[in-house]
Amino acid sequence: MPLIKLQNISKVYGKNDYKTEALKNISLNIDKGEYLAIMGPSGSGKSTLLNIIGCMDNQTSGKYYLKDNDISLMNNKELSIIRNQSISFIFQHFALMKDYTIYDNVELPLSFRKITKRKKKGLVMNCLKELHIEEQYKKKPNQLSGGQQQRAAIARALCSDAKIILADEPTGALDQKTGKDIMNILTKLNNQGKTIIIITHDPLIASYCKRILTIKDGQIISDIINEHIHQ
């Protein structure tokens, strides 16, 4: 059974003359441990698809199964648990809380879990250390470079211990060298068993992934295995 299974997913915004079809009958299986890039021009529906996979938005029609569970049957509390424990997001502009320290930002996924403060600290510092930013833990996001902020966002995703990481243009706000560093980190996480799905318009970023899906006008136009993975 696929980890993620989408059956005839459509998403419509608005009504009547103001109706926009963001997704049109998307069917897609994603297995555990996949490293998938979703490409397409602006407005193609790729971010809408990612938001549905991440339980941040609902489809208008069709079925979405996560680990064989029908997402449409879940209530808000159950969806919140999935977003907190099973799926982590990494965004283009980092989505760090500017008034909180890096430590507090990374600790956020642990806030609603019944674990001791000491264990939380150990988990947070281990994640920061793995991303080589442990010395920055007392700083605020605006005191860090863009690359360090994205490392903090990845550390936050690691801290949640989610098995699925969804990254929406994770290198879009970074220079090319820093972007490569971030992709090497995501590749390492995939090699450790994480399922990673990346939204990108950049063929170089997509080249790191093992599978490349292309969307246009809300429909899948190609789905290929990448035989020339970037090393």
Q: What b/e sequence results for 186-205 when a residue is b if at least 16 CB atoms lie within 10 Å of its CB, and e otherwise?
A: bbebbeeebbbbbbbebeeb
For residues 22-31, average pLDDT = 96
Per-residue confidence band for 166, with pLDDT thresholds at 50, 70 and 90:
very high
- Per-residue pLDDT at 45 exceeds 90: yes
What domains does the chain contain, in order, with CATH numbers?
Answer: 32-57+76-225 (3.40.50.300)
- CA dist 128 to 16, 100, 105, 162, Å? 49, 15, 11, 16
What's at 76, amino acid-wise? N
Mean pLDDT of 44-70: 94
pLDDT recorded at residue 144: 94
Average of pLDDT values for 153-178? 90
Confidence of residue 126 (pLDDT cuts 50, 70, 90): very high
| 93: pLDDT strictly greater than 90 | no
Query: Does residue 223 or residue 83 have the better pLDDT?
Result: 223
pLDDT of residue 149: 93
Q: Is 77 helix (H, G, I), strand (E, B) or coil?
A: helix
Among all chains, which residue has been given the structure tokens 């320290």? 101
Q: Degrees (nearest 5) of the Cα angle 108, 111, 112?
A: 135
pLDDT in the model for residue 128: 94
**pLDDT band at residue 129, thresholds of 50, 70 and 90?**
very high
- pLDDT for 71 equals 94
Beta bridge partners of 184: none
Q: Check pLDDT > 90 for residue 135.
A: yes
Quote the pLDDT of residue 88: 92
Report the mean per-residue pLDDT for the chain. 92
How far, in Å, are 22, 166, 182 from residue 12 at the CA level?
A: 6, 22, 34
Instruction: Determine the pLDDT at residue 210.
Output: 96
Task: Supply the pTM of this predicted model.
Answer: 0.91
**For residues 27 and 162, which has the higher predicted lDDT (pLDDT)?**
27
